[in-house]
């Protein structure tokens, strides 16, 4: 692998420093014995300088090692994790500046405390291996962190979407959603970007059933799954327009299962998807409609569901667009979003997507534990299963709930929508957005404003909840599916500490 010059400098500096320490030499002693200045040796060890051949020879002689041993890029066992990191795609492909990290600062940190950083990196790698974390999953986790850092609102992409709408689909009024017509998207792809659109039948190509689309750059062809709904099809076409309109060259070619080679592809896929949502759900119209909905005296599940229908959107895309505008235009930034999949007849629920803008307590993905079944995100799936099996229901449900954590007392307003997802897989899906009940939320949502008490609202049920069964102390819970093993261990540990204190 050809490494960048700064990485080679760092590897050389780390190796020199470790050899010096192994031989019990200080920086000044090595400088004196090699005939170099202390400051120059320090710059080498920090990866800022790479010495010329004569100076490398002087350093090798001072530490009694061969020239070739010193210039070899192979590090000692202690530094292998750092070597693996430097040789991996992480430092070359992850745009660290997106997270406010100067790459030179990271390299300096590696040089300053290589043993400690090496141990930390090895720990992270072991955790990733233990939970079978793929590179793709790591990229998606980093993307989610990037979204959360920016409250999932990106003015530059919003500006691109506005520029597109002004040019191709100007609004005729703030009261009407008027999504960009599918015909317009089709026409733009064909005439402006010379992209051919073709359809494949998942029934005759069952190996492609999980794909909604894939793009073949060599023939400039966008292949669409013929079984897509109108909403799904419009989004994929808008996403492809986003790639072209924003000139995002390094991109994945598949959707919704995304095969990627780099973090840049994941990031560009997100940018194109954000753009698609922004042109299909206009920001100004959404803000106006939400303001009207929030200004009502009572909450209506049916009106919220109608709002999604008016925008001709899927529930998931609508919730995600909410996560863009609520923090930026309403100041409601203590929220989180998640999606669960459920196969009717089974007891397991799979958390398949999550994003947390709230820094407070909230349900998160926890390995080998069972989520509290009192949250509306699960009960709505159980209700949907019952209606499908007993009433022939094939529509969409919307439910709201106030949830209060049994331990902390933190209250949340949760809005959840459930519907059939991928009928050929016989799965249902719920998407939910959860808002921390605080002063900001009460100011924005009239039905929460004082003197309203969330426990007393008749049209929104109130429930005491927890995070997982394993951590929950509500012992008379009818929904419990596992013993409170984590809580019991915690209490046992606290009892042991008290007993030890008593012995003193």
Q: Which of 278, 445, 405, 428 is nearest to 344 (CA)?
A: 428
Tokens of 343: 């196969």
Q: What is the pLDDT of residue 458?
A: 75
81 vs 165, which has greater pLDDT?
165
Whole-number Å distance between alpha carbons of 216 and 425? 26
What letter does residue 394 receive in the DSSP assignment? -
Confidence of residue 36 (pLDDT cuts 50, 70, 90): very high
Q: Which residue has the tokens 């990627």?
A: 260
Mean pLDDT value across residues 31-35? 93
The DSSP code sequence of 179-228 is PPPHHHHHHIIIIIS--EEEEE-TTT-GGGTT-SEEEETTTTEEEEETT-
Question: Contact, 345 vs 429, CB < 8 A?
Answer: no
* Residues near 437 by beta carbon (within 8 Å), at least 6 away in sequence: 402, 411, 412, 413, 448, 454
Sheet of 411-421, strands arranged across: 350-356, 335-342, 427-436, 411-421, 397-405, 462-465
Whole-number Å distance between alpha carbons of 364 and 153? 21
Percent of the chain whose predicted confidence (pLDDT) is above 70? 82
Q: Evaluate if residue 253 carries a pLDDT over 50.
A: yes
Mean pLDDT value across residues 67-72? 85
Q: What is the pLDDT of residue 70?
A: 85
Q: Mind listing the pLDDT tens digit for each residue in 162-220?
A: 999 999 988 765 566 778 999 999 999 999 999 999 999 988 888 888 889 999 999 99
Q: Are strands 397-405 and 462-465 parallel, antiparallel or unpaired?
A: parallel
Mean pLDDT value across residues 441-449? 91
Sign for the CA dihedral angle at 302, 308, 310, 313 comes to negative
Rounded to 10 degrees, the C-alpha dihedral 276/101/336/443 comes to -100
Tokens of 302: 């049916």
Q: Which of 399, 394, 381, 374 is nearest to 345 (CA)?
A: 381
CATH fold of 147-280 reads Arc Repressor Mutant, subunit A (1.10.10)
Q: What is the pLDDT of residue 135?
A: 65
Q: What is the pLDDT of residue 99?
A: 65
Whole-number Å distance between alpha carbons of 249 and 264? 10
What letter does residue 74 receive in the DSSP assignment? P
Question: Quick check: do 5-133 and 147-280 share a fold?
Answer: no
Q: Which of 183, 181, 160, 185 is nearest to 172 (CA)?
A: 181
Whole-number Å distance between alpha carbons of 316 and 418? 10
Q: What is the pLDDT of residue 238?
A: 97
Q: Evaluate if residue 363 carries a pLDDT over 70.
A: no
Helices (H) then strands (E): counts for the chain = 20, 10
Q: Could you tell me the CA-to-CA distances from 370 to 128, 155, 363 in Å, in that order?
A: 21, 38, 11
The DSSP code sequence of 116-170 is HHHHHHHHHHHHHHHTT--HHHHHHHHHHHHHHHTTT--HHHHHHHHHHHHHH--
465 vs 257, which has greater pLDDT?
465
Q: Class assignment of domain 5-133?
A: mainly alpha
Domain spans in the chain, listed from the N-terminal domain onward: 5-133, 147-280, 314-468
Backbone angles phi, psi at 477, to 5 degrees: -75, 125
Q: Evaluate if residue 351 carries a pLDDT over 50.
A: yes
Q: What is the pLDDT of residue 154?
A: 94
pTM reported for the whole predicted model: 0.78
Q: How many beta carbons lie within 10 A of that of residue 317, not counting itself? A: 21
Q: Evaluate if residue 375 carries a pLDDT over 80.
A: yes
Please state whether the peptide bond connecting residue 155 to the residue before it is cis, i.e. omega within 30 degrees of 0. Answer: no
Whole-number Å distance between alpha carbons of 381 and 460? 17
């Amino acid at each position: 692998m050809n490494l960048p010059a700064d990485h080679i400098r760092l590897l050389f500096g780390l190796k020199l420093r470790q050899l010096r320490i192994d031989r019990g030499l200080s920086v000044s002693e090595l400088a004196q014995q090699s005939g170099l200045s202390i400051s120059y040796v320090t710059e080498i060890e920090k990866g800022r300088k790479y010495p010329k051949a004569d100076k490398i020879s002087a350093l090798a002689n001072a530490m009694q090692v061969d020239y070739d041993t010193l210039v070899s890029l192979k590090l000692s066992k202690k530094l292998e994790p750092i070597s693996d990191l430097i040789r991996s795609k992480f430092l070359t492909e992850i745009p660290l500046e997106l997270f406010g990290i100067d790459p030179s600062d990271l390299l300096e940190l590696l040089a300053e405390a290589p043993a400690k950083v090496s141990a930390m990196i090895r720990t992270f790698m072991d955790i990733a291996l233990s939970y079978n974390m793929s590179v793709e999953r790591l990229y998606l986790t980093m993307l989610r962190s990037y979204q959360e850092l920016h409250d999932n609102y990106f003015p530059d992409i919003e500006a691109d979407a506005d520029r597109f709408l002004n040019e191709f689909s100007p609004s005729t009024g703030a009261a009407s959603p008027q999504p960009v017509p599918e015909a317009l998207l089709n026409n733009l792809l064909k005439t402006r970007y010379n992209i051919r659109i073709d359809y494949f039948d998942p029934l005759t190509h069952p190996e492609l059933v999980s794909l909604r689309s894939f793009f073949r750059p060599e023939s400039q062809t966008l292949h669409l799954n013929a079984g897509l709904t109108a909403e799904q099809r419009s989004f994929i076409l808008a996403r492809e327009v986003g790639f072209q309109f924003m000139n995002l060259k390094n991109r994945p070619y598949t959707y919704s299962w995304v095969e990627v080679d780099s973090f840049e592809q994941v990031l560009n896929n997100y940018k194109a998807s954000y753009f698609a949502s922004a042109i299909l759900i206009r920001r100004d119209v959404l803000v106006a409609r939400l303001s009207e909905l929030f200004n009502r005296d009572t909450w209506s599940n049916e009106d919220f569901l109608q709002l999604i229908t008016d925008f001709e959107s899927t529930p998931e895309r609508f919730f995600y667009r909410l996560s863009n505008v609520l923090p930026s235009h309403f100041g409601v930034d203590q929220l989180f979003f998640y999606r669960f999949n459920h196969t009717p007849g089974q007891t397991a629920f799979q958390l398949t997507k999550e994003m947390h803008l709230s820094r407070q307590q909230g349900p998160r993905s926890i390995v080998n534990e069972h989520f509290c079944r009192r949250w509306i995100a699960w009960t709505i799936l159980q209700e949907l299963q019952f209606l499908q099996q007993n009433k022939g229901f094939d529509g969409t449900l919307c439910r709201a709930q106030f949830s209060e954590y049994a331990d902390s007392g933190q209250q949340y307003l949760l809005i959840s929508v459930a519907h059939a997802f991928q009928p050929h897989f016989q799965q249902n899906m719920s998407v939910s957005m959860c808002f921390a009940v605080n002063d900001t939320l009460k100011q924005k949502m009239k039905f929460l404003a004082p003197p309203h008490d969330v426990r007393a609202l008749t049209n929104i049920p109130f429930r005491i909840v927890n995070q997982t069964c394993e951590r929950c102390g509500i012992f008379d819970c009818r929904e419990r599916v596992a013993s409170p093993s984590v809580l019991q261990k915690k209490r046992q540990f606290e009892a042991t500490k008290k007993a030890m204190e008593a012995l003193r």
